[in-house]
Structure 1
């Protein structure tokens, strides 16, 4: 009887000790995987659809390790300032200089304005217009009811590449507050496009103090040259550029399977004795 009891105690102890313990809460950020950026969309990113199965695989394989999954969504006005159609004589992929006052109001020829900020704006085809099919998430991307959706780019007079802030830093989305609320320490970033929205989101996440990983094969860029520049800059900032095949080792490093009983701040000894009592009562013959 004593031997059986000791065996039951040891088995339960081993089970509890094997529970994975997070050394820091992790969020998966899925940036702008929307119809507008897919091959049939209004602003197609080359091979943009190829990130979808990779992101789905990441979700499936590490679902128990993500404390939060966030989808960002470009959500533009029909006359958004980033659209080339709103600038006479300009065409898509040109650049223009936008000027703003201290409060972040756009200065234009019809308004008197004390210019405080000059922002170079790439001009795009009309895309991701809110409440259109073009702005919806890709139909085959895995989404769950618990996922958080963060919309950006909805201010008509300022663009927003980052999922945290608009391009002038005048306003912010709810993403920062959500990550703080969930006590997130590490963000894993995927989505579109590598050289714009992924890049700016990663930079802001790093600036805000998060441990940042960009999964390179789970994103695609608008152009090769700007993608190379973005990767180089992110690397210089301490942002980790990784492949999905490396995530297993990375996630193992971010979590631990150490003895859960040794974690401070919890009365694990009391919990263990309760479980041991139940275990012995149910499984150990009298």
Structure 2
């Protein structure tokens, strides 16, 4: 849910000062390059940023949900990425962890302990949301067949990272049995044990 002048947009690269440590200049920077902008709000005085094409701009067609997507009754929308000066891959925090969305508090208020994560892009927003869900102690399941990455290579690399953290990765055909409790893979038990361990000490 990005403003038009969002820091991640390639089209906005000239609107911010490049930090001297950036290996790519404003003139040479291309889509998908990683650059370093000056950032007076950070301790280091700079922020590393991957440049993406404009996407999910507030109020635009690209920010709309697909018309065939069926929303559950009382579905709650959590917006992220709406801070002009910091990117936000995870649905829980922005990349600098300066601002937290309401997702964690909304899940806790509803007594939700297990989350299913899917969407775009597998290796970025979906993956970082899943990693943060694990960190916060949620049973975390990534629905692979309902997600798409930026590239097969990036997707496979992130999949290994997620599996190393014991994130359960499933096909959409398995979701019903997981929701009903008919299927309870061992990874969810380990996730729960890890989340409970600090509270037991």
Above 0.5 in TM-score? yes
Q: Deviations over 1:85-144 (max 9, x none)?
A: 12232221111124545xxx26xxxxxxx526x543210111111111221111111124
Aligned length: 171
Cα distance change, pair 209–98 in 1 and its aligned pair in 2 (3 A): farther
Q: Deviations over 1:38-71 (max 9, x none)?
A: xxxxxxxxxxxxxxxxxxxxxxxxxxxxxxxxxx
Q: Give the TM-score taking structure 1 as reference length.
A: 0.56
Match of 1:82 in 2: 8
Q: Which has the higher strand share?
A: 1
Instruction: Within 5 Å, give how 1:1-286 maps onto structure 2.
Output: 75-87=1-13, 88-89=26-27, 90-98=29-37, 100-101=39-40, 105=41, 115=44, 119-253=47-181
* Contact 2:177 2:183 (C-alpha < 8 Å) held by counterparts: no
Unaligned runs of 5+ in 2: 14-25, 185-201
Unaligned runs of 5+ in 1: 1-74, 107-113, 257-286
In terms of Rg, which structure is larger?
1
Q: Which has the higher helix share?
A: 1
Relative contact order (alpha carbons < 8 A, sep ≥ 6): 1 or 2 greater?
1
Q: Give the TM-score taking structure 2 as reference length.
A: 0.78
- Secondary structure of the equivalent of 1:96? strand
- Secondary structure of the equivalent of 2:79? strand
Runs of 4+ in 1 over 4 A off after TM superposition: none
- Secondary structure of the equivalent of 2:55? coil
Following superposition, the deviation at residue 245 of structure 1 comes to: 2.1
